[in-house]
Structure 1
Amino acid sequence: MSLAITFPGQGAQTPGLGAPWRDHPAWSIVDDAERATGRPLAHLLLDAPAEELADTRHSQLAVLLASLLAWTALEPRLDEPVVAMAGHSLGQITALIASGTVAFDHGMRLAVARADASADAQAHAPGGLVVLLGAEEDVAVAACDAAPGRAWLANVNAPGQVVVGGHADGLDAVAARAKELGARRATRLPVGGAFHTPMLVEVAEAIGPVLDETPFVVPAIPVVANDDGAVVADPAAWPDRLRTHLVRPVRWTDTVRTMRGLGADTLIEVGPGSTLTGLARRIDPELELANVAVPDDLAALGALVHGAVR
């Protein structure tokens, strides 16, 4: 048995998402994160209301920390090899920390810079995302012609699920056009940013100085980048990868297929929610799937993956 580990992105946050971990030994990483960033973060995991967590500045850090809590608890229990890691959007930062590509303190400071810059960009140029169900990439690209220069492909998540991002005033036209082209449903997501589109170019510029100061090393576990679904063998490539990642579509279908090609037969989503296992089921129905979001999942996982966890 060979494992692939995936980490969720922004949108997986819910109030109290870290509360089940409060008395677990893994909680020490929250204290470490507060020291590394100089910010109070525990409340984001424990008692922050939904309105506060909806702010990109907070939601990204809450999801990242909740995912790292789960990974810190899971990693020592794994008996089977982990052949690859990946994270969806923000989750890519989590994967870089978890894999050892970037040290924890450096990774946390990078995550803060990314979250702050993303929130600032949303304030300056509000945007949005529309998920298209029953549509493929060609339909999404064609639908964007309804708002030229105002909407772009943002995610290729799974067969029959793609996402378009852009200026709020153009997304209704894009959604209508997508339905004309055969999309079964077009749903506006509850976010205020056009993530992974050219609208985030200022975020890529803003985090440049932090990226340039961040040491990246060859990881213990290969990380698959989701701007093209390729393993990044040269750690020196990550600064440019993380800049372009912000303005290019997330190609999650390619990412999962690459992990499968590396020998993974079991995919574990580590962190809040179950979106990524749902997508993986559509990408490759033969993958065995599991989730670790709370401490109770650790015990249940052993039966699901047939002894990969002790």
Structure 2
Amino acid sequence: MKAYIFPGQGAQFSGMGLDLYENSPEAQELFEKANKILGFQITDIMFEGTAEQLKETKVTQPAIFLHSVILAKTLGEAFKPEMVAGHSLGEFSALVAAGALSFEDGLKLVSQRALAMQKACEAAPSNMAAVLGLEDEVVENVCNTIDGVVVAANYNCPGQLVISGEVEAINKACDALKEAGAKRALVLPVGGAFHSPMMEPAREELAAAIENTTFSKPNCPIYQNVTANAVTDENKIKANLISQLTAPVKWTQSVQQMITDGATLFTEVGPGNVLQGLVKKIDRSAETASATFETQA
């Protein structure tokens, strides 16, 4: 079965989407529509911006969403997903690609999500750290012993878990995790504690926007971050999407479940190939590929 997977924050690069814009009239139209919806020329930053400009949350999230969704739309008949999943932000791309959300509504929600997360980051100092070489359970147990907010946030693949929380709690957790045998416990250059209770103000803000958005039944099951199970019911999709900001991304569990349910080929749609690497670490026998836009002769 064909599974399509959509990347999250961190996959951006200068020049992303330019080939689509230059070679596909449909892509060009969608990019221009995005500029209007967002109220600024995101295409200028995507095509020619510096790494610093692309790192701004209000730019990063819509940029990755646009690259992924527009690439999926230009694949035409070749794009026939039997299941989809997206890592964090990528879940919105997956929902649009699977027909559960319109392009316009998806972009508006992603933009609101980015701004709400930015606001929550500014309200309280917080960050994230990558922990390598420990079992998930050990990381969870260590986090439970630390004073302050620190939780498991991204289950990326076996032996790679990202923790999230208050600055001081993260620093203490990193020291404790190294003592517990972690190969590395490294604070990440991110704006705040995503997928932790620190995102509660953003979750509340986004919840209202999601509730007021029309969702349709997707064309295929989506494996959502919060449950790691196949979902097709619109109301469950909405509820999981709202929970996503404060709950962990169960990527390892999602990929394992997709394989159990028959996924044989994972095609990454969007910038970079990080998710393909994670899929291989989760199951070495899984086949992976990058979606590529073929210029029409």
- Aligned CA RMSD, in angstroms, stands at 1.7
Does 193-202 or 11-20 show the bigger shift? 11-20
Q: Shift in Å at residue 113 of structure 1?
A: 0.7
Corresponding residue number in structure 2 for 1:159:
158
**Contact 2:143–2:173 under 8 Å retained in 1:** yes
Corresponding residue number in structure 1 for 2:242:
243
Residue 100 of structure 2 is aligned to residue 129 of structure 1:
no
Q: Deviations over 1:137-190 (max 9, x none)?
A: 212212224532321110111111111011122222111111111211112211
Corresponding residue number in structure 2 for 1:200:
199
Structure 2: gaps spanning 5 or more residues: none
Aligned residue type for 2:122: A
Corresponding residue number in structure 2 for 1:59:
60
Matched-pair identity in %: 34
Q: Shift in Å at residue 40 of structure 1?
A: 2.6
Aligned residue type for 1:137: D
**Contact 1:83–1:262 under 8 Å retained in 2:** no
**Contact 1:153–1:249 under 8 Å retained in 2:** yes
Corresponding residue number in structure 2 for 1:40:
41
Corresponding residue number in structure 1 for 2:257:
258
Separation in structure 2 between the aligned mates of residue 281 and residue 104 of structure 1, nearest angstrom? 30
Corresponding residue number in structure 1 for 2:277:
278
Q: Deviations over 1:7-34 (max 9, x none)?
A: 0000111222222323121232212223
Separation in structure 1 between the aligned mates of residue 235 and residue 61 of structure 2, nearest angstrom? 24
Separation in structure 2 between the aligned mates of residue 169 and residue 192 of structure 1, nearest angstrom? 15
Aligned residue type for 1:29: L
Q: Shift in Å at residue 102 of structure 1?
A: 0.9
**Contact 1:83–1:259 under 8 Å retained in 2:** no
TM-score (norm: length of structure 1): 0.89
Kindly report which structure 2 residues correspond to 1:39-118, keeping only aligned pairs within 5 A, or say none. 39-78=40-79, 81-118=80-117
Aligned residue type for 1:74: L
Q: Shift in Å at residue 39 of structure 1?
A: 3.7
Kindly report which structure 2 residues correspond to 1:288-299, keeping only aligned pairs within 5 A, or say none. 288-292=287-291, 295=293, 298=294
SS where residue 22 of structure 2 aligns? coil
**Contact 1:127–1:193 under 8 Å retained in 2:** yes
Aligned residue type for 1:170: A
Aligned residue type for 2:184: R
Separation in structure 2 between the aligned mates of residue 217 and residue 265 of structure 1, nearest angstrom? 27
Aligned residue type for 2:126: G
Separation in structure 2 between the aligned mates of residue 139 and residue 15 of structure 1, nearest angstrom? 38
Separation in structure 2 between the aligned mates of residue 256 and residue 188 of structure 1, nearest angstrom? 25
Separation in structure 1 between the aligned mates of residue 35 and residue 60 of structure 2, nearest angstrom? 16
TM-score (norm: length of structure 2): 0.93
SS where residue 186 of structure 2 aligns? strand
Separation in structure 1 between the aligned mates of residue 205 and residue 199 of structure 2, nearest angstrom? 10
Q: Deviations over 1:244-301 (max 9, x none)?
A: 1110110001111122122210001111111100110011111111113x64xx59xx
Corresponding residue number in structure 2 for 1:306:
none
Corresponding residue number in structure 2 for 1:304:
none
Q: Shift in Å at residue 108 of structure 1?
A: 1.1
Q: Shift in Å at residue 133 of structure 1?
A: 0.9
**Contact 1:146–1:177 under 8 Å retained in 2:** no
SS where residue 152 of structure 1 aligns? strand
Structure 1: gaps spanning 5 or more residues: 300-310
Q: Shift in Å at residue 75 of structure 1?
A: 4.2
Separation in structure 1 between the aligned mates of residue 231 and residue 287 of structure 2, nearest angstrom? 25
SS where residue 267 of structure 1 aligns? strand
**Contact 1:145–1:174 under 8 Å retained in 2:** no
Separation in structure 2 between the aligned mates of residue 279 and residue 75 of structure 1, nearest angstrom? 27
Moved runs in structure 1, 4+ residues, more than 6 A? none
Aligned residue type for 2:242: R
